[in-house]
Structure 1
Amino acid sequence: MTVPDELAGQRIDNFLQARLKGVPRSRVYRILRKGEVRVNKGRVKAEYRLQAGDLVRVPPIRVSEEPPPAVAGEQLRRTLEEAILYDKGGLLVVNKPAGLAVHGGSGVRLGLIEALRQMYPESPFLELVHRLDRDTSGAILVARKRAVLLHVQSTLRAGKMAKSYLALATGKWPRAQKLVEAPLRKNTLKSGERMVVVDGEGKPSTTRFQVEERFSGATLMRAEPVTGRTHQIRVHAQFVGCPLAGDAKYTPDAVNASFREVGLKRLFLHSAAVGCTLPDGTRVHVEAPLPSELVAVLDRLR
């Protein structure tokens, strides 16, 4: 295998594990240690970082048989083609539809990233920069180059990546509540369902909130997560006493039922805008329009 430019800098052990599906990690390290893997005809250690154009020779190795991967149907492909908001400089921004997981696993055979890899077979590198909950719609970043992935993720960890969400909070949001700082901890119930709770021993978590529009019994909010914890906006809204409309995990069923009467059939949380800087200094700012079904709910509330 010849290493493409997009994979330059990746460790050889990670490169092999991505291509030898079902092969135990111990086996991958054994063939490296015994010198059965050659790069440019020479032995390398597991920590060797590949260069563009390197020729990697892998010995014959048995891989476990897995069921064939799920194939993205024509309707999903068309939906995602229309959802591409930005495609330059090794970065994709996709307006993810609600209900689509970002990746397969835990009962999900096909997620956004698997579908995109099928749509872009010529791209040897496609990785999620960050994640969105399955029920959340909106802008999500996908890297088409390893250098872009590492650069943008470093800005994300430093809190320099702009992310803005539109959320419909139930009830009357307190005017003075513009910043929520409440530590969050993941909690798995006996049923196996993963919940997140505010807990003094959890990870520090901060979200900025701004009122966009008030309705009878609801408030449209703009939420900007400073940290990036699982379910952060949803749990912080619940903590304030105004859980999000349509949230099956954190909002009482009776409250959600009242919003179903105005046509809300999903979680009202949308990644409305993302912004970052590419390795060459290019500044990227992309906005994702609110889905029509959420626009219709706001119209009915008005």
Structure 2
Amino acid sequence: MTYKILSASIIYINEDMINQRIDNFLKKKFKNIPKSMIYRIIRTGKIRVNKKRIKPNYKLKIGDNLKVPPIKIFVEEKKYCNIHHYQTNLSNNILYEDNYLLIINKPSGIAVHGGSGINFGVIEYFRKIRPLEKFLELVHRIDRDTSGILILAKKRTSLISMHQQIREKKIKKEYIALVHGLWPYDLQKISKPLLKINFKNKQKKMFINNYGKVSETYFKIKKQYSCTTLMSIFPKTGRTHQIRAHTSYAGHPILFDKRYGNLNLDQLIKNKINSSRLLLHAISIDFVHPNNNKILHIQAPLDMNIRNFLQNLV
């Protein structure tokens, strides 16, 4: 364990930050600080708003002057995601941007945010290269090894609007996946509840379990090869690892899925074709723009790795 000191800071509350409880705001702003420490520095008066002590339930107002003291925190030694390897791709893979949203085609292998042994992810990268952005938050998440569409909100109002659409299931997503075996033509829907289990090594895995959350995924065959099937997949709900868990449950796991896949079958294919990335890609999304209410359709091209892989299949 090592420690680092976060320097004192003054935050001026703008319209994208208002109406949040101070404790929730600080938890989002300083994700590496334990919640217990945040509550302690609020309770002891070290956090000041307009030079006054406040309670954890204080709601921020526009124009508030928030003062945060220097904070000493202990951190684990973590692996650093090789962000420099992806810098060009991240900057060049912007699919859409305006004053409200930033949408990228995320490469496989980079996390969307720091955590779980990774210090740096997509959101940290864009915050670093765009220090003048007053607000930048992830609208949703996709797995580190999954590539494809990732949406960031540039205004709090945009984030609220997109989250409402997610809750009301108004956002339509399509994924492309290559699965083992010949997928049955009559298997077009899997509706099985998923329960998250957290292991001691900080990894999590979803299991089919009646005590889990309702999860629904739709499937359409795009092309069948000799021993694999290319699928279009439409998740109706957005549970963690939902597509990976449902395809595994069906007996047709996604190729090179280290958590839900079939390592023996993966190895047979890997010996013929030199690739090992998870063959799952978020290829398109439809939603209502949070400002002008127009329907947006965004597509993310397959990367060269997947395209070359598919060209070598028989």
Q: TM-score normalized by structure 1? A: 0.88
Output the CA distance in 2 between the equivalents of 1:71 and 1:194: 19
Instruction: Rate the CA distance shift 1:6–1:105 in 2: closer, same or farther, 3 A.
Output: same
Cα deviations by residue, 1:50-95 (Å, 9 ceiling, x for unpaired): 233333345x454336699969755432121011111114211111
Identify the residue that residue 206 of structure 1 maps to in structure 2: 216
Identify the residue that residue 274 of structure 2 maps to in structure 1: 263
- 5+ long unaligned stretches in structure 2: 1-10
Output the CA distance in 2 between the equivalents of 1:197 and 1:23: 31
Confirm or deny: 8 A CA contact 1:8 1:146 kept in the other structure: no
The structural deviation recorded for 1:39 is 4.0
Identify the residue that residue 46 of structure 1 maps to in structure 2: 56
The structural deviation recorded for 1:291 is 0.9
The structural deviation recorded for 1:242 is 1.2
Cα deviations by residue, 1:195-219 (Å, 9 ceiling, x for unpaired): 2221222221100101111111111
Output the CA distance in 2 between the equivalents of 1:223 and 1:64: 43
* 2:295 is the alignment partner of 1:283: yes
The structural deviation recorded for 1:18 is 4.7
SS of 1:6's equivalent in the other structure is coil
Confirm or deny: 8 A CA contact 1:182 1:198 kept in the other structure: yes
Instruction: Rate the CA distance shift 1:199–1:150 in 2: closer, same or farther, 3 A.
Output: same
Deviates more, 1:64-73 or 1:20-29: 64-73
Give 1:168's match in structure 2, choosing from 178, 183, 194.
Answer: 178
RMSD: 2.7
Identify the residue that residue 63 of structure 1 maps to in structure 2: 72
* 2:136 is the alignment partner of 1:126: yes
Identity %: 38
Identify the residue that residue 112 of structure 2 maps to in structure 1: 102
Deviates more, 1:197-206 or 1:72-81: 72-81
Cα deviations by residue, 1:7-53 (Å, 9 ceiling, x for unpaired): 23332223344556766645644665576655456665433332333
Identify the residue that residue 167 of structure 2 maps to in structure 1: 157
| Amino acid paired to 2:191 | E
Deviates more, 1:33-42 or 1:282-291: 33-42
SS of 2:178's equivalent in the other structure is strand
The structural deviation recorded for 1:150 is 1.7
Instruction: Rate the CA distance shift 1:37–1:298 in 2: closer, same or farther, 3 A.
Output: closer
Output the CA distance in 2 between the equivalents of 1:190 and 1:73: 27
SS of 1:118's equivalent in the other structure is helix
Confirm or deny: 8 A CA contact 1:71 1:115 kept in the other structure: no
| Amino acid paired to 1:64 | I
Map 1:182-197 onto structure 2 (within 5 A). 182-188=192-198, 193-197=203-207
SS of 1:80's equivalent in the other structure is helix
* 2:311 is the alignment partner of 1:299: yes
* 2:87 is the alignment partner of 1:77: yes
| Amino acid paired to 1:251 | G
- 5+ long unaligned stretches in structure 1: none
Output the CA distance in 1 between the equivalents of 2:198 and 2:47: 41
| Amino acid paired to 1:182 | K
Output the CA distance in 1 between the equivalents of 2:165 and 2:149: 17
| Amino acid paired to 2:287 | C
Output the CA distance in 2 between the equivalents of 1:31 and 1:108: 26
Identify the residue that residue 273 of structure 1 maps to in structure 2: 284
Map 1:182-261 onto structure 2 (within 5 A). 182-188=192-198, 193-260=203-270, 261=272
The structural deviation recorded for 1:4 is 2.7
Instruction: Rate the CA distance shift 1:228–1:61 in 2: closer, same or farther, 3 A.
Output: same
